[in-house]
Structure 1
Amino acid sequence: MNDSQALGRISAVVSENDVVLFMKGTPQFPQCGFSAAIAKTLSQLGVPFTPVNVLDDHAVRQGIKDYSSWPTIPQLYVQGEFVGGCDIVHEMHQSGELAQLLRDKGLL
């Protein structure tokens, strides 16, 4: 997959799914602690999400960084909007802001 194809795939996944987590590994077998933390948070909230394992495709792994202008993975998207990486999502969860965002979007 080339860069253009990767960006097209990323755009399609983000626009076609309410909650998308670009992560290293899968929710069942995360390959980094940060990815595991966000997947666990979403599961605790009871929010269905679409995981995308960036380790499956180097073009997607780099492409998501270009797509969001955010240098790290994991990355969480809610209804097409970039929410943030692990630190931001963790802080939002601790403050109740993440649950409120999901309620406001009709996802909780």
Structure 2
Amino acid sequence: MSPEIADKVNDFIARTVAENPVVVFMKGEPDQPRCGFSAVVVQILDHLGVEYAGVDVLQSEPLRQGIKAFSDWPTIPQLYVAGEFVGGSDIVREMFQSGELKTFMVEKGLLAA
């Protein structure tokens, strides 16, 4: 990937994370996930009733690679809350099961207690 494309992708990711309180970089779209791991994160967020943006990384190979570099995390999906990288599917699932994810969302003002 050329440095110019990498910069544009990085700018897009940074802007998307800054403009959306909750965003998932995923394979597919929230109403039609294209991998099981992305589906798990969508189901958890839907269950919690959190509003979120979904970004389909399958639409762009530079975006797919760029999000991995942006977070320094090798897998997709990736959840960002209030500008902060939370983790991938396993971490989100573990946080949900322990109640930590709901508490985190409440603390960030994204869910009522």
TM-score past 0.5 threshold: yes
Percent of residue pairs bearing the same amino acid type:
55
Tell me the distance in 2 between the aligned counterparts of 1:42 and 1:97: 13
Consecutive unaligned residues of structure 1, counting only runs of 5 or more, are none
Count of aligned pairs: 108
Please, which of 26, 31, 41 is the counterpart of residue 28 of structure 1?
31
The amino acid that maps onto 1:22 is F
Q: Hey, which bits of structure 1, 4+ residues long, moved more than 3 A?
A: none
* Counterpart residue identity of residue 103, structure 2: Q
Matched, 1:84 2:84: no
Residue 77 of structure 1: how far off its partner (Å)? 0.2
SS in 1 for 2:33: coil
2:11 matched residue in structure 1: 8
The structure with the larger Rg is 2
Q: Secondary structure at the match of 2:51?
A: coil
CA RMSD of aligned residues (A): 0.9
1:70 counterpart letter in structure 2: W
- Normalising by structure 2, report the TM-score: 0.94
- What TM-score do the two structures reach when normalised by structure 1? 0.98
1:26-79 deviations in Å (ceiling 9; x for gaps): 111111000000001000000000000000111110000000000000000001
Once the 2 structures are TM-superposed, how far is the Cα of residue 89 of structure 1 from its aligned partner? 0.3
